[in-house]
Amino acid sequence: DEELVRGLGAEWFVARGEEVASAVRAHVPGGVDAVVDAAVLGLAALDAVRDGGAFVALTAGVAPVALRGIDVATVFFRADAAQLGEVVRLVETGRLTVRVAEVHPLEKAADAHARLAAGGVRGRLVLVP
């Protein structure tokens, strides 16, 4: 992941296993202006935000309680055929990349879920009928 992220222009990288807030604050002592949490880190990521900053959870129901004047929001998703079509178009034209780690037959869904729960998956697991 570090090579990918740095290749996209990141100046510094915090690995998943590290103490997120401490690692971020080593680079930005006062805390960052905002965090978009797509990894369900919750409070561990909130602690990296400066007082009065912003925190956005991309997973419904897991946003931490607002502390230190931090504005906490949750993004909700809904099915939308037109938007999904646009995402497909972006993938087909190469403007959006999809990282697939593994493909599993549908009857092995329990195995795929166990693989995700074990951690270490880089990319998405895809189930096919």
Q: What is the CATH number of the domain that holds 25?
A: 3.40.50.720
Kindly state whether residues 16 and 43 are assigned to the same domain. Answer: yes
What is the pTM for the complete model shown?
A: 0.66
Kindly state whether residues 52 and 99 are assigned to the same domain. Answer: no
* 79-127 residue pLDDT tens: 889 998 998 999 999 998 888 899 999 999 999 999 988 888 888 899 9
* 28-80 residue pLDDT tens: 999 999 999 888 888 889 999 999 999 998 876 667 777 899 999 888 777 88
Contact yes or no for 75/59 (Cβ under 8 A): no
Strands 71-74 and 49-57: parallel
Supply the range of the domain harboring residue 124: 81-128
Last residue of a domain, one of 58, 74, 90: 74
